[in-house]
Structure 1
């Protein structure tokens, strides 16, 4: 291989590293800025029913832990990822539940949809068989630790990034057992689902979309006020890892083409 080819490969590698670093910074910032509400209360502040069991691997070492605080687990991932550690989740909650909800094929599809400025149909649907909670997943973030979802856990539809651990923790911590809809197939882009949710105040099933006067002008769904602790967390991340995070006016919509 010639010197020029070596230089080109090195340049391409550096570009890829910068892209990955930029994407990770964006994901980290978005996840800090967004808060999962169950009803009118953040999951992290709810009176917990049971802890979330986790088995994970960091740089080749396997750990077993039970977390009663979603904030503690989020902080663990945030700081380890920010420090460049190889962090993999092996189990969450009950044995096999993580793999049932997020099988490898689904993770591959979510990763494929994580390209910037796209408008793909939702990849998966989760729902509570005993209640009204549901969510449509569009893409993954932060090495499969998070996903973007249109959901109604807060009572009204929201479109935001969610920690995978928070989704699974809904069962032990809030008695909301989300399951994957194995028959789900979507053809309409996520923008139409978001537009329909803004118009109706609910998550609309795809067969109902043609009945609505949708015009392709997606209205951004409201988000709750950002809690004050977020600024402290972002500052701690910056100082602890030296990471340059994105501005706090970042929104999930910036990664889509609508």
Structure 2
């Protein structure tokens, strides 16, 4: 879990050219109902950073955290049903190169997100997405940040229930680097893939994320060795 936390606090979800927590709409919040060691909490967070801090303290103290609701009632389980969470957990193994497990998209726009595995006891996932203006991004994301896109930015992602990928994530990454966008599966036969994907650009960490990581590193010096670790270290990819 230390590896997961290190990467998550040193990367940010960027929407357009700004980090998510900087461009939220005024007066919006993320509603959560969650359980920590059997105690139920209901809170509204003005920033995803607040929820991350709660998770960090609880998980590092060995407490069990279970999320029951995020955003609107029922929306969390509609996007992340237990069957999907179990599949994402099963794919969370070293040196993997499985096909993406799920596809989220914006019915009213061009946003697409492909999920490959889970992290931090199911509180985060790895995703290839096109939310940043800089081009496709492959990074670990807090599920709370994905859920916050609707209330805080008006980006209402839905899960593609017909999605079934036959190509491994390496093919999607190579195609994304080649085309500068996320490629749909029917397009793959027309591409000359080599099996050697080029590493995609990852948005830099925020000052707040680095500060949290620095504090955690002072308390646990072993974390410092993870400062430069990237998502690619957990996949069997030739880059």
Calculate the TM-score normalised by the size of structure 2.
0.94
The match for 2:150 is 171
1:115 maps onto 2:77 in alignment: no
List runs of 5+ in structure 1 lacking aligned partners: 1-23
Check if 1:56 corresponds to 2:22.
Answer: no
Task: List aligned pairs for 1:92-107, cutoff 5 A.
Answer: 92-107=70-85
CA root-mean-square deviation: 1.3
> Is the contact made by 2:11 and 2:206 (CA closer than 8 Å) also made in structure 1?
no
| Aligned mates of 1:232, 1:124 — CA distance in 2 | 32
Paired residue for 1:217? 196
Task: Indicate which of 25, 30, 34 corresponds to 2:11.
Answer: 34
**Mapped contact 2:103–2:113 kept (Cα < 8 A):** yes
Which has the bigger relative contact order, CA under 8 A and spacing at least 6? 2
Of 185, 203, 208, 1:229 maps to 208
Instruction: Report the structure number with the largest CA radius of gyration.
Output: 1
Q: Which moved more, 1:186-195 or 1:70-79?
A: 70-79
Q: Secondary structure at the match of 1:138?
A: strand
Unaligned runs of 5+ in 2: none
Counterparts of 1:243 and 1:168 in 2: how far apart (Å)? 32
Residue aligned with 1:219, SS = coil
What is the CA distance between 1:47 and its match in structure 2?
A: 3.4
Conserved? CA contact 1:27–1:141, under 8 Å: yes
Q: Is the 8 A contact 1:48 1:68 kept in 2?
A: no
Q: How does the TM-score come out when normalised to structure 1?
A: 0.88
* Alpha-carbon separation, structure 2, partners of 1:233 and 1:82: 13
Name whichever of 220-229 and 134-143 sits farther off: 220-229
